[in-house]
């Protein structure tokens, strides 16, 4: 609690605008919901700008149901990642308004009132080095869409055919950030970064074989990028790349 908050509380209590019970409630108010094996963060939107995004992997359908219900009760739009097709089918029965993207493996429930959705802001370009990086790029795109950010997609422009990127540089015009997903040697973010004045969020993917070691080669390559504007997220973390790109786009719009 910072000084301003404390002063306000004391003043309210003494001034009578805050009853003792209200004072206690405010100071001790739970900012999370206890759902058994889950402690939902109800305060996330206040602190971080967006509600908690649900990590679907390793959670049962029953656990997800409880979480979704509570988020919707709090008037928060639901975004869940890493949901397999079987779970998605069950969730669709419970939440018919939910939308499953089978490529991205995301499950979303937008709020009933479309008017409540924020207008699309900014511009993020999502790039893939190869066709097989598509699922990661789609996860980023879904996240950006959920955050209300405009996106443009640019696919399969890896460095083995270097002109493919150069031919399409116009797509980056006025971009707030670029998300670049690449497996194998993961060289594309460096090349993209060498052309742009905005941050590049590099996502190593597990596409490859042998000494790609499940995306480790791409990860190390991206961390060692000689381009100064490249930052990195976890292997296959399309969500996280999209999320940070979305934050950048939102900050610019404010």
Residues near 208 by beta carbon (within 8 Å), at least 6 away in sequence: 183, 184, 215, 217, 218
d(CA 94, CA 98): 9
Establish if 51 lies at the interface with a copy of itself (CB under 8 A). no
- Give the whole-angstrom CA distance, residue 192 versus residue 54: 31
Cα atoms in the Cβ-side hemisphere of radius 13 Å centred on 165: 23
In the stretch 99-118, what mask flags binding to a copy of itself with x, by CB under 8 A?
Answer: --------------------
Name residues contacting a copy of itself, limited to 147-166 (CB under 8 A): 155-164
> Is residue 129 near a copy of itself by the rule CB under 8 A?
yes
Q: Which of 85, 115, 119, 228 binds a copy of itself (CB under 8 A)?
A: 228
From the list 69-77, 86-94, 113-121, 218-226, the region that binds a copy of itself by CB under 8 A is 218-226
Query: Is residue 139 at the binding interface for a copy of itself, with CB under 8 A as the rule?
Result: no
Query: Do the beta carbons of residue 82 and residue 53 sit within 8 Å?
Result: no
126 binds a copy of itself (CB under 8 A): no
Contact 122, 249 (CB under 8 A): yes
Q: How far is the CB of 15 from a copy of itself (least distance, A)?
A: 11
Map tokens 């890896």 to a residue.
158
Q: Which of 61, 111, 121, 227 binds a copy of itself (CB under 8 A)?
A: 227
Using left for φ > 0, alpha for ψ between -120 and 50, and beta otherwise, residue 101 falls in: beta
Residue 109 or 219: which CB sits closer to a copy of itself? 219
Least separation in angstroms between residue 29's CB and a copy of itself is: 9
């Amino acid at each position: 609690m910072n000084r301003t908050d404390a002063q306000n509380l004391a003043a309210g209590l003494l001034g009578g605008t805050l009853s003792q019970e209200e004072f206690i409630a405010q100071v001790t108010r739970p900012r999370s919901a206890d759902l058994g094996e889950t402690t939902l963060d109800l305060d996330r939107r206040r602190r971080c700008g967006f509600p908690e995004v649900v990590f679907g992997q390793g959670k049962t359908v029953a656990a997800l149901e409880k979480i979704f219900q509570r988020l919707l009760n709090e008037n928060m739009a639901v975004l869940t990642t890493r949901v397999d097709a079987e779970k998605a089918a069950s969730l669709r029965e419970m939440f018919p308004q939910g939308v499953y993207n089978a490529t991205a493996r995301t499950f979303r429930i937008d709020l009933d009132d479309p008017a409540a959705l924020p207008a699309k802001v900014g511009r993020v370009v999502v790039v893939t080095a190869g066709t097989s990086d598509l699922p990661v790029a789609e996860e980023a795109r879904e996240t950006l869409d959920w955050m209300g950010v405009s996106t443009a997609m640019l696919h399969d422009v890896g460095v083995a055919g270097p002109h493919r990127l150069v031919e399409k540089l116009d797509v980056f015009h006025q971009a707030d950030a670029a998300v670049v997903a690449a497996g194998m040697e993961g060289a594309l973010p460096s090349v993209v970064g060498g052309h742009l004045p905005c941050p590049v969020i590099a996502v190593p993917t597990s596409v490859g074989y042998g000494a790609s070691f499940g995306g480790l080669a791409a990860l190390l390559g991206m961390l060692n990028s000689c381009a100064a504007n490249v930052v990195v997220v976890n292997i296959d973390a399309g969500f996280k790349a999209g999320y940070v790109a979305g934050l950048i786009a939102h900050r610019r719009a404010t």
